[in-house]
Structure formats: structure tokens, C-alpha cells
Amino acid sequence: MQLQHCRFDLALRHHWAIATDLGRGGGKSVYPVVLVDLRDAHGRHGVGEASPSSQYGESHETVARFLAMVDPGRLSFDDLPGSLAYVESVAAGNGPAKCALDIALLDGAARAANKPLCEFLGLGPFAERHHLSSFTLGIDTPAKMAAKTIEAAPYPVLKLKLGSASDRENMDAVRAAAGGRRLRVDANAAWTSKEDALHNIEWLASLGDVEFVEQPMPPSLPTSDWAWLKARSPLPLFGDELYQHASDASRCAECVHGVNVKLVKTGGVTRGKQALEAARSQGLQTMLGCMIESSVLISAAAHLAALTDHLDLDGNVLITNDPYEGVRNRGGWLSFEGVAEASGLRVRPRRVG
Ligand SMILES: [Mg+2]
């Protein structure tokens, strides 16, 4: 097997900031990812992507360092369990790099089987006109958030990042421009006590158009604080930073009503599927989310949509230079209709010009 990887800088349509960026220089306009290509002696190939997040101490350099340690001779499209066990044994952590390899191995194996990934995984055909993703608004000034809300007119569900000193002004500006659209809120762990979180959630509930609140508090707070908040919250709570792997499912069932699974956090589609199934077995609602990502990662996640109640797979519509084409986003509705590639992730490099 040959393993090639390269850095690719995704260009954001708008400057991007979330609560955890505010103390660290205030966000970014370019988001480096790492694209991975596996090719075997039979000419079969698969592509993957790592979208490393500084929030978890990852970068394109940590991804490249991990990939340099991988012996491609130990990877095979014909032995996924053996290949993935080897990747896991290379070093601990490194979810984004492991995610890229997992996706590339699955893409190659599903292409070899001539099946779309969802069918290769036993999840049946992708359900068209069924999966609606939210569209995310990063933290900005109230005027810019209002402008972004108007620009996002095609999207019926908006996810608003909160956790700055201007939360109330930002919420007012977005609601005035949203025209009654459904709103979801993600505080990215910004509210540091259960009392502070409850106060904010009660305000959000009083507005009448907020559907749920994601990650109101830091994941490091005791489970008892989370259980206190869950018992009193007038809106459903979702854990994102709180839910890294399937093994966190039982704690999350005490803390929140649902979880947000991301392939980059769990280490790929294989473990993302396990994390969704573990959450459901604990009675949790499920959401699939993303980082800033190209259509490689977004398409990979879309193949797991059958295991979710909500989707937040908009990373590829927040950028202007997607190097791949794959699953389409039409006003938030995800669709593979008209996509030329029929098997694997159903992605191919975008023709330029
Ligand atoms: Mg989140």
C-alpha cells in the first residue's frame, strides 16, 4: 500500500470564532486540514481527511507526525479489522490522523465492494429528502451576525455559537433577521457554573424559538453538577466536548439528553458508528457534527446519517475552496442525487476552472 498525505488550507467564507477562541486571538480565516490517499498494488484507492482542532491540542503537524510513523505495508483494504488495530497500536490519541486513515481504508474497501459506504456498513441506502443539517453561525459582532443570518436564508435551521460577552445582543440580532427559523445554541463550554448555565438556558427557553443547547458547561465539571442542570433545564441539553468516545455514553446519559458525535473526535467512521450506537443504547438522542471540513469528511459522516436524530454537517459549505465534491447540501438537505461517484464515500476531486 502507498500512503500519501498533504496539507490543504481550507479558506473560510467568513472569519470563524467560537467561545474557546476568544481568549486566544479570536478565531481564524484559514483552516488547515490533511488529505490522505491510500493506493494498493491492484490500483484500488481510498481518500481520507484529518481536520485537526486546536481545541483538542491537534494540528496539521501532529497529524503529519503520526502519519510518518505509520507503515503502509500494514494497511489493507481486504483486512479492515487488522488494519485499524494496527493504526490504533501506532500511538495513543491522534484522533484526527486515525480518522483520516479509517476513512481512506473504508473508502477503498467499499469501492472494492462496489457499494456506497452506508450500504457497505449495513445501514441501507442513503435516505434522500430526509436528512436536514443545521447551518452554523460563528461568534461575531451583532451586525455581522445579522448579515450572516440573512445570507443563510436558504437554511431553515441555524446553529448559533454563544459564549461571548455579547450573547444577548448577538441573539437579538440573529432572531430579528431569522424570520422565525429554528435555532440551536452551542456555548462550547463557556458557562462555567451550573447556576450560570441554568440562568442562560432559562433565558434561551423564554425566547420560544430555541430547540436545544449544546455543551453549556465545561466537560470537566463533576457529573453531579451536570445531573443538577439536566434535572432543571427547560431545554434539552447536548454534550459535544463531553462525548469523545463510545465509553463516555453512560456518563453522558446522566449529564445530558443527547450527544454530538464527530468523526474527528472518535477517530473515524468505524468508531463514530460505535459512538452513535452506544449513545442510542443509553437512550440518548444523537447528532452528527463536524469541524471545518472538506467534502471528504462531510460525505463520510453523511453515510452514518441513519443513526442520528439531528445533523450539523455544514463544514463544507462554510468554505470557498472545497478540493472535493461529494454529498450535496441544498438548503440544509443532504443529498447524493446526481453525484457521479457511486461507491465508497462517493467523492472525487473537484475540477478547477
Ligand atoms: Mg459543539
Q: Indicate whether 182 and 312 sit together in one domain.
A: yes
pLDDT at 253: 98
Question: Is position 323 within any domain?
Answer: yes
Per-residue pLDDT tens for 107-161? 999 999 999 999 999 999 999 999 999 999 999 999 999 999 999 999 999 999 9
Answer whether 270's CB lies under 8 Å from 246's CB. Answer: no
Q: Indicate whether 172 and 227 sit together in one domain.
A: yes
Q: What is the pTM of this model?
A: 0.95
Give whole-number Cα distances, 26 to 17, 29, 159, 169, in Å.
6, 10, 19, 18
Instruction: Please tell me the distance between residue 188's alpha carbon and the centre of ligand 1 in angstroms.
Output: 6
Instruction: Please tell me the distance between residue 287's alpha carbon and the centre of ligand 1 in angstroms.
Output: 10
Question: Is position 262 within any domain?
Answer: yes
Question: Is position 165 within any domain?
Answer: yes
pLDDT at 342: 97
pLDDT at 22: 67
Q: Which residues pair with 8 in a beta bridge?
A: 33
Answer whether 185's CB lies under 8 Å from 159's CB. Answer: yes
Protein residues placing their CB within 5 Å of the ion ligand 1? 186, 214, 240
Q: Indicate whether 142 and 187 sit together in one domain.
A: yes
The HSE-up count of residue 32 (CA atoms within 13 Å, CB side) is 11
Average the pLDDT over 95-113 and give the result. Answer: 97
Instruction: Please tell me the distance between residue 240's alpha carbon and the centre of ligand 1 in angstroms.
Output: 5
Answer whether 48's CB lies under 8 Å from 103's CB. Answer: yes
Instruction: Please tell me the distance between residue 349's alpha carbon and the centre of ligand 1 in angstroms.
Output: 28
Q: Indicate whether 87 and 166 sit together in one domain.
A: no
Instruction: Please tell me the distance between residue 243's alpha carbon and the centre of ligand 1 in angstroms.
Output: 10
H/E element holding 279? helix 269-281
Q: Indicate whether 295 and 182 sit together in one domain.
A: yes
- The whole-angstrom separation of Cα 231 and Cα 256 is 9
Question: Is position 126 within any domain?
Answer: no
Centre a 10 Å sphere on the Cβ of residue 338 and count the other Cβ atoms it contains.
6
Predicted confidence band at 23 (pLDDT cuts at 50, 70, 90)?
low
Q: Indicate whether 115 and 185 sit together in one domain.
A: no
Q: In 3D, which of 325, 269, 344 has the Cα closest to residue 114?
A: 344
Q: Indicate whether 55 and 155 sit together in one domain.
A: no
Q: Indicate whether 60 and 139 sit together in one domain.
A: no
Question: Is position 268 within any domain?
Answer: yes
Q: Indicate whether 146 and 112 sit together in one domain.
A: no
Instruction: Please tell me the distance between residue 113's alpha carbon and the centre of ligand 1 in angstroms.
Output: 34
Instruction: Please tell me the distance between residue 74's alpha carbon and the centre of ligand 1 in angstroms.
Output: 34
Question: Is position 128 within any domain?
Answer: no
Average the pLDDT over 177-181 and give the result. Answer: 96
Q: Indicate whether 183 and 329 sit together in one domain.
A: yes
Whether residue 197 is predicted with pLDDT greater than 80 in this model: the reply is yes
Q: Any idea what the CATH number is for the domain that residue 60 is in? A: 3.30.390.10
DSSP labels for 304-330? TGGG-SEE---GGGSBS--SEE-SEEE
Question: Is position 129 within any domain?
Answer: no
Question: Is position 125 within any domain?
Answer: no
Share of the chain above pLDDT 70, in %: 98
Centre a 10 Å sphere on the Cβ of residue 217 and count the other Cβ atoms it contains.
24
pLDDT at 352: 72
Show which of 92, 120, 148 is a domain's final residue. Answer: 120
Show which of 85, 120, 155 is a domain's final residue. Answer: 120
Q: Indicate whether 335 and 203 sit together in one domain.
A: yes
Give the number of domains in the chain.
2
Show which of 97, 120, 143 is a domain's final residue. Answer: 120
Instruction: Please tell me the distance between residue 262's alpha carbon and the centre of ligand 1 in angstroms.
Output: 9
| In the block, residue with C-alpha cell 467499499 | 110
Instruction: Please tell me the distance between residue 330's alpha carbon and the centre of ligand 1 in angstroms.
Output: 22
pLDDT at 333: 98
| Paired sense of beta strands 28-39 and 2-16, if any | antiparallel
Instruction: Please tell me the distance between residue 88's alpha carbon and the centre of ligand 1 in angstroms.
Output: 25
Instruction: Please tell me the distance between residue 24's alpha carbon and the centre of ligand 1 in angstroms.
Output: 18
C-alpha of 15 from chain center? 18
Predicted confidence band at 55 (pLDDT cuts at 50, 70, 90)?
confident
Whether residue 319 is predicted with pLDDT greater than 80 in this model: the reply is yes
| In the block, residue with C-alpha cell 470563524 | 16
Whether residue 25 is predicted with pLDDT greater than 90 in this model: the reply is no
Whether residue 51 is predicted with pLDDT greater than 70 in this model: the reply is yes
Q: Indicate whether 154 and 299 sit together in one domain.
A: yes
Domain containing 50: what range? 2-120
